Structures are given as C-alpha cells and as structure tokens.
C-alpha cells in the first residue's frame, strides 16, 4: 500500500463527472489497484475513489499544467467501464509504501454470524432450489460469506451485513471480480443481504447487477417479529 499526502486537485469522468479543487489530501493506492482520495474529515469515507479492476499510470503535466505548478499527473482508469480518475499533484508532502500482508478478514459479531449461519440453512431465501457450496468461501482478499448454486447450477456469491451500506457493496464487487476469474464458477451472480440496506447502497448494487435481499432476523429464527405484514 502506498500512502501519499499531496496538494492536489482531482477530476472524475465517466458515468458522472466530479471535481475536487486544489487542497492537501491523502492518496491511498492499494495493492488491489484501487485509489482512494481522503480529506481530514468525513470519517472513513473517501472523497472520491476508483475501485478495481483498474490501473494507475503517472504522466508528465502539460505545458499549461506545469506553468500552473503541477509536478505530476496520476491517471487511474477502470478496465471495464473506462471511467477515469485524474489527479493533478502540485506538491508531495509525504510518500511511503508498506507491505501489509494477507488480512485475516473481518470477524463477524454475534448477530452477523447468526445471520450467516441461518441463511446458510435457509438458502431458498436466496434462490428457490438453491444449494449451499460453502460458508466463508475463500478468495485472495478474504472469504465471501456464502457461495451457493441456484437450481440451474449457476454460482451465487452472498455478502451478509447487519446494515448494508456502500462499503459492503464495494466489498462484494471485489469478491465477484475475483470469483469471476474461476472458470468453474463464472459467471458469478451477486446477492447483498442485510437486515437494513441503505438507499444509496441499493442504487449502487442494482447498478452493478447485484441483487439486494432484506433479511428478517426474527423470522429466520422462527420468531414472529410483531411487525404487521401484507403477506
């Protein structure tokens, strides 16, 4: 992982266009190729980012850029969509690289672990006639919660959260990219399952062809939740 603190401006072009004016920011270039642009606020969420599969190249600034003080230009391009993140660097304040090794993955809390176990026992909720292949199916960047096959034998990767947000969708997207390289699994469908799915996460998931599944924990345990239902 490479960490760069720099005075920079950032432009995103693709399905949407966005601009970050000149300011001091943290640029995180991960081993999976992704680039995240952080400010000193906003908690863990980047101001802008490019998810894998993508590639980063460094370019010399043009004459007009150089005269304005730009010393280096990064271009990060998504290999499938062609979306591009262009970073104009005016000054590098800090630049370091670190080998983090293999991460053991997130340890689920009690409710999330129970949701995984219950859904593994009730895979018909994912797809009628589905069968479980494995819980915690391994990938190079960590295990996906469930891998199942539908009634026709198609592979489905399922990521389970208590509260589904954009980070969970991004996590499942990375798993799908890796699993899709396996000819025994490809093409792999994605299901994002949670007790509550935020609207922004649902929009992003559906845009990427990922199906959303809302889980009723009490119902899965065989306990009536007390909430009125239409059917």
The domain segmentation of the chain, as residue ranges, is 2-97, 111-221
H or E stretch covering 113 = helix 110-121
**What pLDDT, on the 0 to 100 scale, is given for residue 226?**
47
> What is the CATH code for 111-221?
3.40.1350.10
| Stated length of the chain | 231
pLDDT in tens, 137-195: 998 888 999 999 999 999 999 999 999 999 999 999 999 999 999 999 999 999 999 99
Would you say residue 225 has pLDDT above 60? no
Q: Which two tokens stand for residue 62?
A: 């043009």
pLDDT in tens, 91-108: 999 999 999 887 776 665
C-alpha to C-alpha distance for 227 and 215, rounded to whole angstroms: 14
From residue 91, give the alpha-carbon distance in Å to each of 40, 56, 74. 17, 18, 13
Beta strands 18-29 and 2-13 are antiparallel
**What pLDDT, on the 0 to 100 scale, is given for residue 105?**
67
Q: State pTM to two decimals.
A: 0.55
pLDDT in tens, 12-47: 998 889 999 999 999 999 988 999 999 998 777 899
C-alpha to C-alpha distance for 67 and 213, rounded to whole angstroms: 52
- Mean predicted lDDT score pLDDT of the chain: 90
> What proportions of the chain, in percent to the nearest 5, are helix, strand and coil?
20, 40, 40
Do 2-97 and 111-221 share a fold? no
**What pLDDT, on the 0 to 100 scale, is given for residue 102?**
76
C-alpha to C-alpha distance for 176 and 190, rounded to whole angstroms: 7
> What is the CATH code for 2-97?
2.70.180.20
Residues with Cβ within 8 Å of residue 103, at least 6 apart in sequence: 141, 142
């Amino acid at each position: 992982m490479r960490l760069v603190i720099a005075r920079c401006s950032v432009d995103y072009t693709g399905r949407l266009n966005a601009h970050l004016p000149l300011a001091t920011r943290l640029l995180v270039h991960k081993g999976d190729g992704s680039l995240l642009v952080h400010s000193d606020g906003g908690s863990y969420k980047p101001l802008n980012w490019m998810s894998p599969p993508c590639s980063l190249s460094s370019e010399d600034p043009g004459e007009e850029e150089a005269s304005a003080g730009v010393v280096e230009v990064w271009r990060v391009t998504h290999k499938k969509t062609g979306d591009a993140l262009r970073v104009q660097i005016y000054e590098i304040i800090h630049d370091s690289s670190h080998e983090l090794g293999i991460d053991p993955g997130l340890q689920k809390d009690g409710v999330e672990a129970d949701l995984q176990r219950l859904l593994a026992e009730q895979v018909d909720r994912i797809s009628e006639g589905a069968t479980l292949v494995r819980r915690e199916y391994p990938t190079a960047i960590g295990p996906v919660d469930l891998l199942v096959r539908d009634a026709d034998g198609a592979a489905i990767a399922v990521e389970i959260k208590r509260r589904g947000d954009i980070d969970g969708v991004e996590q499942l997207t990375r798993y799908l990219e890796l699993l899709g390289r396996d000819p025994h699994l490809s093409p792999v469908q994605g299901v994002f399952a949670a007790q509550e799915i935020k609207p922004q996460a649902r929009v992003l998931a559906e845009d990427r062809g990922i199906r959303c599944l809302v889980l009723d924990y009490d119902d899965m345990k065989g306990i009536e939740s007390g909430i009125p239902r239409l059917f």
